[in-house]
Structures are given as C-alpha cells and as structure tokens.
Structure 1
C-alpha cells in the first residue's frame, strides 16, 4: 500500500512538472498582450555569513511569439568575488516535450573587456537556444552562484518588462539569526512578505501569481513604479576583509571613505605645478576652472573594474604617472589637485545615465554606478564630471543632473540634489534665411545656437566623430522632405552653460508648392513638433515629463519670395498656453519679404494621469500651428 501511494505521489509530481512546460494549459488572461509568460520563477538567496551567500534561480518561460525570443537566452555575470557553480537549460515544444538540453559546449564564457575597459575582471557566461520555427515553446534555466561581495543583495523583479506576464514566482531569503535583512517592497500584493524562524535561521518569502502583462504608456514613470519589485540589502556585511554597516546613507558614505582613504596624495613636483597654475586666481570657482582644464588636458578616461568590487580607486600618484583613470580615479585625482590648491572637495556617488531612474532615497544601499566631485563654494556646490574631456567645470548635463547624489563628507555623508537645468538653460536659438524660387525650390542658410541639454548630443558628435560621420549623423536629424546639405560647421562656445553654434547651407527641393498663380509656402522649416497619439483606454500611470522636457526653442525665418507675389490672406498672431508650456507664432510681411517668428517654452515635471488628455491637446494644437502655410498670389 505504501509503495502504491509513493508511486502515485511520484506520478502526480511528474505530471505537475510537465504541466509547467505545456503551453495549451495557459490561462488566456496571461497570454493577453504578452510576448512571453513566466511559468515559474524561483529565487533562493541564502546568506551564510556577513561575507558569503549562495543564490539559486530557476526560471521557466513560455515564449509566445518572435518578440519574446530574447527569453531563450541567459547571461550570467561574475567576477573574482562571485562564481557561477551551475548553469543548466532545457528547451520544450508546445506540448511540453523535451527538445534539447544545454551541453557544456553550448555555454560560452566572455570577458567584458572593451576598448574603454583597460582593466576588468568582470566576465559572463552566456547560453541560448536556436531560434524556433514554431511558437509557442518553453525554456527552462537553472543558475547557481556563490557570492562574496555582500555589499549587494538581490533585487527581485520576475516581471521585469512590459508584455511579460507571470503565472507563479517566489523569492526566498534565508538569513542567520545573527544578521538582519533590510528590504523594500513596491507593487507587491498584500500581505507581502511571509516570515518564519527555525533551525537557527530566519526565512523571508515573497510570492506572485497570475500577474497580467502590461504595456507601458507613453511618458510613463520607471518600470519599478509599475511592476512588482523587492529590493533587499544587508545591515552588516564584509568584502575582502573590509567590514561595513548599512542602516543609513552615512553608513554608505563611511564605508566608501574607508575604502578610499589616504589615496589622494600627489607628487611634490605636481603639487608645485598646481600652485603655479592657480597663483593668479583669487576665487574658488577660478581655481576649479583652471585645474579642471588641467585635468581634461592631461588625463583620459578608461574603465578600470578592479579593486573591491570596482569601488576602490587607484591612488592619485598612479594617475599622475599614467595619465588615465576611471571615474573613481579621476575624481580622486581631481580632489587631490584641488587640495594642493587649498580647495576642499568631496566625492559624490550618483546613479548616472541619460535614462536612468534616480535612486530610492528612502532605502540606503549601494545603488550607485558612478562618481563625480562636489566642490562647496559658498552656499552652492559645484559638481565636476571628471570623465568629461571637453565640457565646462560645473556642468553635468542629463547624465548625472537632476538626481540625488551622496556627498561623502568627513562629518557625515548626506544626499543632495545635482543641478536641474531650466528651460532658459536649454535653448535652441535659430535664424534662417530662405530664398524661394517660382518653382518652389529654395536655398537656405541656417545659424543655430544650442545651449545646455540641447547641445549635449552635438558636443558628443564633435568630439567622437570625424567630418564624414558628423555629416551622416546630421543628415538623419534634418527633417525636411527633400534637401541637399551643402556645408556645415560647428563651433563650441565657452561658459558655465555650454553652447554650440551650427551653420548650415541647404538646397531644398519644392519647399513651396506652385499651383497656377498661387504659391503655397509652409512656414516652419526645421522645428515642427509632432502631435501625441491619444490613448484608446483610460490613462493609468502618471505623465512623466521629467527628462528633457524643460527647454526653449526660438526660430526666426526670413523668406525672400520671388518678385510679384502678395499674400492671399493674413495670419493673426497665435498663442497656445497650458501648464506644460507656452507657444507663440507671428508673421510680419514687408513687400516680398516674410518674417516668421516662433517661440516655445516647455516645462517638465510629473503630472497626474488625468491630465494626459490636456497634454495630448496641447501637443495637437502645436503640431497644427507648426503645419501652418501661407498662400501667395502672383500679380498680373
């Protein structure tokens, strides 16, 4: 009898195991709006001590269509502080039949070394299954790792993208009784974590079930605000004999300072050179500008992912000798130069990236990926991006601008905000002269001045591309139906807010349309904004206009018409105003010369979902205004 019961239990477990590989049993709700479905996602993180842990992740994902094929690939990173002890994989057809299992020969091992990674001990293992001829199919991966860098605990986000649903997922953290776990839940269904204690350990378990796929709405907040996620962090940790606590931002700063203390000494001859360089400067800002230029002229950026998890800097003396360094090393070196000049400066940890979400300010942990330098100057702090070889001192752009940074101070580290650039900082000022022929063709001279965030892309192009590459890049940015780019010139202008001038000459085919005795002339040559597609369903998420939505554009276009044409009608001045910004356009006519002046100021920010229709309406009105054209009649 017992044998029969055991056989029945074994068979039922086998059937249940096969079900998770079968596609036909999937709920239609989980397939709706999804490219793939997470059938099972099981993560177990076991902390053995302050300096060692293991992690096991098993995932089973059914791929529904071609856009879900990325889930058939698994990439696992590791370095000298972590080890991949096991990587397995299997592929199943729609009925759950095994097609293929991963072999050792299918798993490739790569270094993350690149042209800008001079030294790097990071590596990754990669495994993937070949593209399948039919859908759906299911893939299973099992990854087991050991971790000896417990500055970082896992972030659990099984539904980590749009168009991905989750059937079942579980996250388990097992801690010794002597260690405390810190965690932050976002979008986790009630009741959240389940806690138990037994056999000398504490166990924390989070579960998800039947999470439908979502599609991110335009201008919506970061994924972490819309999808289930659990952040975890230690209270006590150890890495390569360095011990730390992690209960406050001051703890983060104290640990970073302990790793990098006394690494900012420079040779005596360099110290004397610094003193000579700044001898005529009487202000902190003047000394900073002079030494920042020295840094840019005499060092170059390379990525160096060595040291304690990449968090410990190369000594300033070595940077002085080698003339290169990563963000930590160049920041530390700049700090040393300023100290020699009698100027105090402090590292500032930041989460960098043009499209990176800001850190979670209420969850102290190692969320940073970059470091800049903060220089107190009166009531202000001047931030220096020490990896930038060409920008002005104090300008950080959108790479590290408008977000929290942890300023590492001797009397207690604290979060501060980096500069947020206003519309008046981010300007596009354009003057265009257009000569129009009777056939509607035009010769065009364009002079544009870009400032602040609007010049960032142009500055990168100037410093990273040759003339032919710049031309190809520029051709893709000019949105005129039919034109030839005859000449282009760029010039950089100095200032606390950087600026670039662009001079173009163009030949435009049939910009105006000739029809009988009439000439139809569109007024906005180069700066027209498109409308925003309205949603077909009620808006769910906030309208997030916090990235690159603070700007001013001014266009003055002077059209020289062919002789003998007069306007068929006049166009009144136009103003469109809302909480998102202000748009004006007006026209002046002086004989056969037409002057069109357009100005728009946009205000970024976070707005409630209910105002999305107002945003659509505002952009629709602007797009319509930007399509305005004049009609001219030829006099007999």
Structure 2
C-alpha cells in the first residue's frame, strides 16, 4: 500500500543518519570521484509517492560532501512551501571530514520568510545555511513536501554541475490504476518495476559512480543527462487535466485561465476609445501595449494555484500590477475588447534555457508571454517589461517552443530568434586632447534592442553614482573627473544618449613627449572566450549584435601623428571585424573606426575554436595604440 511505502522510506532515512559517522568520512570517497570535483553527492534518495490524483508526497534524503569553497552553494538549503505544497518536515545535519556530527538544524530553527513581493503572499520560504565551514565538510538534508495534486513530477539528474555522484536513487510509487511517462534527456536508463503490495507499482532508477563532467562556459542550462517525468492524467487543487499531449495540457491551462481574460463593458468602451483612430489591428495592439508599459508594473504573485492560474483582468486593471500571467491575460482581454485576437503562451524563461522537447509533453514552463497570430509572422509581446519594443521578446524567451493556450487546446509554436541588426549600437566620440594629457569627450550613442534596454536600465533609471559605475565598470571608460548623461527618445525604438566627460588623463600612458592613445576611450562588445578542449556543447552569447565606433581625437596645437595602427579586416563563420585609422591634416584630428558584427547568438561546438580565436584577435587589435607627439 502507499502508506506502507511512505513509512518504509522514513525508516530508511532515519537508519541512514544513525550510520552517518561511519559512512560520511571524506576519506571514503573514491579518488576517481574527487578528481575535478568541488562537491560529491555521496547519497541521494528521492521518493515520489502518488496516493491519488489529488494527493502526492515528495521526500528527499541527500548527503553532499563539499570539498572546497567553490562548492559552498551546497551549504545553503531552501524550500518554498505554499498552500499546494506544504513542507512537512526538514532537517539539516552537518559532519566534519571524519564524518563526525557537528550540527543539527531543525525545521523550527530555520529562517522563514513570505514570498510574493509583499503584495500577495501565499507561501513560506524556509531556509538555512552552514557558515564558517572548514573544508571538506558534509551536509545531510532530509525534507518532505505534501502536494495537493499530482501535476509536479521530479526528474532524475544524472550529473552534478559542481562535481560527481557516488550513489543516487529515485523511486516513483503510484496505484496500478494510474500511469505516468518518462523520457531520457541525453540519457538512456530504464527503471526496474516492482509491485508494492497488491495495489501499487514502484518504479526505481539507480545510478552510481558518475564522475565529474567538466563545465563548459556558455553551455545551455539543461545540458546534463537526466530522466524527465510527467503525468498522464493529473489534478491540481481540484482541477483535473491530461498531459498526454500538448493539445490536452494546453486545454487544461486555457480552461484554468479563460475567466481571467474578461473585462466589463465599461472597460471595453475605455479601450475602444483609446484605439478609435488606429487604422489596423497591429496599430491597436501597439497603442494598448504602450498603455500597459506606461501604467502597469510587474510583481511576482503566487497565490493558491498562482503558478498556473492568472488573477482576473479586472484585478490587474484595478491594482495596476500583475505577474507574467496576470499582465498577459489582462492585455489579451484588452485586445479582445477591441476585436484583436491574441493568445497567452507558456514558455520556459531563462538566459540559457533550451526549447522544450516537442516529443515529450511536460510542464517545464515558468513564464507567460502573449502572441497575436498573423498570416505570416505572428507578433510576440513581453508583457512584464516597461521598455521592450513592440513585437520583440529578447534573449530570455527567444528561440523557444511556446504553448499557445487556445479555445481548442494547446498549440506548440516556435518563438522567433533575434538578429544582429535588431541590437545595434553606433557611437561617435570627439575627444579634445590637451598638451598635459587631460581632455574632454563628447559621446553620442544610438542604440537599439538589447543595448537600448541596458542603457535604460543602467543609466536612465539610476542615480549619478550608479551611472558612473556603469560607465567605468561596464563600458570601461577611464575614471572621469566629471560627467553628465542625457537620454533622448526613451520611448522610441532608437535611443539616443549624449555623454559629456572630463578626464585628468586621457592617454593610456606617455613616454617622453609621446602620448599613447586607445582606439576608443571605452571598450567594445568583445568577449574573452576560454579555451575549451574537445568541447561538446554549443556556446551561447547574450545576443547577436552590430556595433560601430568612430572616435575623433582633436590634437593639441602643434601635435602631429607619430604612428597609426594598421587597418584590419577578418572574420569567422559567426562574426566579422573591421578597423581603420587616418589623420585629417585639415582638422588636425586623428580618427579611428571599428565595426564588429556577431551574426549568431549560438555557436555550435564545432565552430567554437574558430570563434574563440576570432575574439582573441579582436581583443588584441583593440590594444593597439595611436601615438601622437609635438611637431619637431
């Protein structure tokens, strides 16, 4: 029976802890599992027990040895509980390198805080951390979550991002009348299946001796091998659903949220009046999207089944805030009011997240965006941003498989990828150089796309000190003695920024009466890519881009050019670089020009070395110096 399975699991956890002082000594870890590891998962036993569609329990017993400070994140423990996922028990035990008990942190002694941005709270975050650790150190973590439903399944990870795995097991226990699905992600591992009494089945996955897989910079977030799991029929807070197909899962999510996409007649008239002069549906959508951006703000809301169900559009309209679901459903309701069709869409949000597997319906989504279907290229809207351009998603949700929530069920659709021309920065800088090396600079920047968003976030919305920090630490200007920043057309897709700076010292260095000047007084988008032998994963940049810079050094009276760097042009399959330098005798000014284009955000592993060499060469070119001196 299911109850017997839960009892056996708890007794096994208790027995493992009693033997800890013998089992958890660091010396017992095989040398092959220590090599290259910061942490070693000594033992991991997960259990997911489904009593019925409306009730399930997840339990974890995990022992991790932290070998050095690089693995210290494993010394922190945190679990989010809610009305749908109640934390029933939690204990953390700490052992020294000999496996001797040092500390026991009980659930009642852990820190607790509400979550929901202090506006709507439905959960408690329970957490603790082991401080002042002497390495190596071992932590044992036991906890149990009781779910009101059967929608959330665990996954069996077959890698450890910080090291190796000595032994791990995952069991899924469920009534014989129920089924679930599993799928190997870069892995093939079948479970053993056994009876648990006359009514239940137990599926068991076991792995051991998994050595450290070296991490690769810029690799996708879910690169590691794993066994994914998902229900067929399920229930969440009394709402029954079917996840066998994307269509059936999307229908469940649509039905859960359809009442949130409704506005009263008074609101409908308000929005109709807003768009009365708009000639097309997309013009109407632009007006309403901009209204949303100007008047609403994003907050994280998790209430009841808030992870899946949006608050009503009337709530969002009144409060002028919402989470991704609430804002997307509200805008969808506004568009419906003016006769424009749109669909909320589930998507997995994250800088390095990869598209969900079309062949395995599963809820790996953590974000909601909005889609306005079009005959050719549909329009996608990110409703949580106050500055994102109309029809642009950005790096966190581009190139994904999104699940449209339609009246007829879910439809899996691929979101567009950004192009280099969508993120462009053109800079013109004039530097008036004085004989003592001081100078004043006037910088004019035109930015679109991700560069525009960065400048708005780090400049427009910040105080003077934070603006200076951005100029010096991010753009790598020399430390200015004084500066002013002005942004124009903040609401336009093309942002114009004007920066005036004063420097006590402009040259990188001087030698005698010669000044050695950088090609530009700030740094371009040049990423140092680490060497990665036998790379297996693609590399992901933040975004593709085009960047050009023209810098003019107005020389002091009586100064001439002593040496100019050579012009360069080179490329690789995914990027190109061009530079040029000249002296204008009429203006008595030196000019440098550089253009760099990164065509693709993703670089396949096979092209990584060529791309790394390209950026190394570009970085080297940027160290070239313009040399000026007094005329003889």
Do both share a fold (TM > 0.5)? yes
1:455 lines up with 2:458 in the alignment: no
Gap change, CA 1:467 and 1:417, over 3 Å in 2? farther
Kindly state the Cα deviation for residue 380 of structure 1 after the two structures are TM-superposed: 2.2
Q: Which residue of 2 aligns with 1:107?
A: 110
SS at match of 2:140: strand
Partner residue of 2:580 out of 576, 579, 586: 586
Q: Is the 8 A contact 1:439 1:514 kept in 2?
A: no
Partner residue of 1:193 out of 191, 194, 204: 191
Gap change, CA 1:450 and 1:81, over 3 Å in 2? same
Gap change, CA 1:187 and 1:385, over 3 Å in 2? closer
TM-superposition CA deviations, 1:115-146 (whole Å, max 9, x none): xx5112121222444433x3323221211221
Q: Which residue of 1 aligns with 2:74?
A: 71
Partner residue of 1:373 out of 357, 370, 373: 370
CA–CA distance in structure 1, aligned partners of residues 524 and 338 of structure 2: 49
Q: Is the 8 A contact 1:20 1:39 kept in 2?
A: no
SS at match of 1:365: coil
Kindly state the Cα deviation for residue 202 of structure 1 after the two structures are TM-superposed: 2.3
Q: Which residue of 2 aligns with 1:3?
A: none
Q: Which residue of 2 aligns with 1:575?
A: 569
1:146 lines up with 2:149 in the alignment: no
Gap change, CA 1:294 and 1:472, over 3 Å in 2? same
Q: Is the 8 A contact 2:233 2:241 kept in 1?
A: yes
Gap change, CA 1:627 and 1:349, over 3 Å in 2? same
Partner residue of 1:438 out of 421, 435, 439: 435
Partner residue of 1:523 out of 519, 526, 539: 519
1:598 lines up with 2:598 in the alignment: no
Q: Is the 8 A contact 2:345 2:403 kept in 1?
A: yes
Q: Which residue of 1 aligns with 2:155?
A: 155
Partner residue of 1:563 out of 532, 554, 557: 557
Partner residue of 1:95 out of 76, 93, 98: 98
What is the aligned residue count?
614
Kindly state the Cα deviation for residue 530 of structure 1 after the two structures are TM-superposed: 5.2
Q: Is the 8 A contact 1:549 1:603 kept in 2?
A: no
CA–CA distance in structure 1, aligned partners of residues 606 and 295 of structure 2: 53
TM-superposition CA deviations, 1:171-209 (whole Å, max 9, x none): 111122111121122344x55432334533222222221
Q: Is the 8 A contact 2:440 2:502 kept in 1?
A: yes
CA–CA distance in structure 2, aligned partners of residues 582 and 211 of structure 1: 41
Gap change, CA 1:197 and 1:467, over 3 Å in 2? same
Partner residue of 2:259 out of 257, 262, 275: 262
The 5 Å alignment of 1:147-546 reads: 147-157=147-157, 159-162=159-162, 164-188=163-187, 191-197=189-195, 199-222=198-221, 224-225=222-223, 227-461=224-458, 464-495=461-492, 498-512=493-507, 513-528=509-524, 532=528, 534-535=530-531, 538-545=533-540
Partner residue of 1:86 out of 89, 95, 109: 89
Gap change, CA 1:195 and 1:426, over 3 Å in 2? same
TM-superposition CA deviations, 1:404-426 (whole Å, max 9, x none): 21111224421222232211110
SS at match of 2:248: helix
- Segments of structure 1 that go 5 or more residues without pairing to the other structure are 1-11
Q: Is the 8 A contact 1:74 1:126 kept in 2?
A: yes
* Deviation larger for 587-596 or 601-610: 601-610
* Deviation larger for 253-262 or 610-619: 610-619
CA–CA distance in structure 2, aligned partners of residues 124 and 570 of structure 1: 60
TM-score by length of 1: 0.90
CA–CA distance in structure 2, aligned partners of residues 388 and 528 of structure 1: 26
CA–CA distance in structure 2, aligned partners of residues 557 and 490 of structure 1: 20
TM-score by length of 2: 0.90
Q: Which residue of 1 aligns with 2:11?
A: none
Q: Is the 8 A contact 2:487 2:496 kept in 1?
A: yes
TM-superposition CA deviations, 1:371-418 (whole Å, max 9, x none): 121112332211222222344432322233332211112244212222
Q: Which residue of 2 aligns with 1:613?
A: 609
Q: Is the 8 A contact 1:319 1:330 kept in 2?
A: yes
Q: Which residue of 2 aligns with 1:135?
A: 135
- Segments of structure 2 that go 5 or more residues without pairing to the other structure are 1-14
Q: Is the 8 A contact 2:399 2:414 kept in 1?
A: yes
CA–CA distance in structure 1, aligned partners of residues 308 and 129 of structure 2: 32
CA–CA distance in structure 2, aligned partners of residues 327 and 533 of structure 1: 34
CA–CA distance in structure 1, aligned partners of residues 510 and 130 of structure 2: 58
Gap change, CA 1:474 and 1:571, over 3 Å in 2? closer
Partner residue of 1:29 out of 29, 32, 48: 32
Kindly state the Cα deviation for residue 618 of structure 1 after the two structures are TM-superposed: 0.7
Gap change, CA 1:298 and 1:610, over 3 Å in 2? closer
Gap change, CA 1:321 and 1:439, over 3 Å in 2? closer
Q: Is the 8 A contact 1:576 1:582 kept in 2?
A: yes
Q: Is the 8 A contact 2:299 2:323 kept in 1?
A: yes
Kindly state the Cα deviation for residue 434 of structure 1 after the two structures are TM-superposed: 1.0
Q: Is the 8 A contact 1:566 1:632 kept in 2?
A: yes
1:123 lines up with 2:117 in the alignment: no
Q: Is the 8 A contact 2:399 2:415 kept in 1?
A: yes
CA–CA distance in structure 2, aligned partners of residues 15 and 320 of structure 1: 56
Kindly state the Cα deviation for residue 15 of structure 1 after the two structures are TM-superposed: 10
CA–CA distance in structure 2, aligned partners of residues 236 and 70 of structure 1: 36
Gap change, CA 1:180 and 1:458, over 3 Å in 2? same
